[in-house]
Amino acid sequence: MIKVSVLYPFSEGKRFDHDYYKSNHIPLIRKRLGQTLRNATIDKGLSGVAPGSEAPYVCIGHLLFDSLEEYQTSFAPHAEEIRADIPKYTDIQPTIQISEIVE
């Protein structure tokens, strides 16, 4: 199983619309990637370790696929459309990590 994590780091003065992300962006991804997308989850950052500190990430989106190849072949035809939707909910440059779930 492959997990694609899209991490949006906290930065003072940056914007992130959680409602749009949940109600529009993730459904767009689900629709375009179809059955190859096994699951999608959203982590909304609440806090860092120290009480009252900001979460390191405002949001982390996780997309699960059976294989790296399925992710790449399903995402590639829709990459431009999906990326064009990003400015509608944030001005944060995300970091993307692709991982293998080992347990």
37-75 residue pLDDT tens:
999 999 999 999 999 999 999 999 999 999 999 999 999
Question: What is the C-alpha to C-alpha distance for residues 28 and 53, in angstroms, rounded to an integer?
Answer: 32
Question: What is the C-alpha to C-alpha distance for residues 103 and 95, in angstroms, rounded to an integer?
Answer: 23
Question: What is the C-alpha to C-alpha distance for residues 80 and 58, in angstroms, rounded to an integer?
Answer: 23
Model confidence pLDDT, tens digit, residues 11-38: 999 999 999 999 999 999 999 999 999 9
Domains of the chain by range and CATH? 2-100 (3.30.70.100)
Task: Fill in the amino acid letter for 17.
Answer: D
pLDDT of residue 98: 98
Tokens of residue 39, six digits: 């699951």
- Residue 40 near residue 26 (C-beta atoms within 8 A): yes
Q: In angstroms, how far apart are the furthest CA atoms of the chain? A: 43
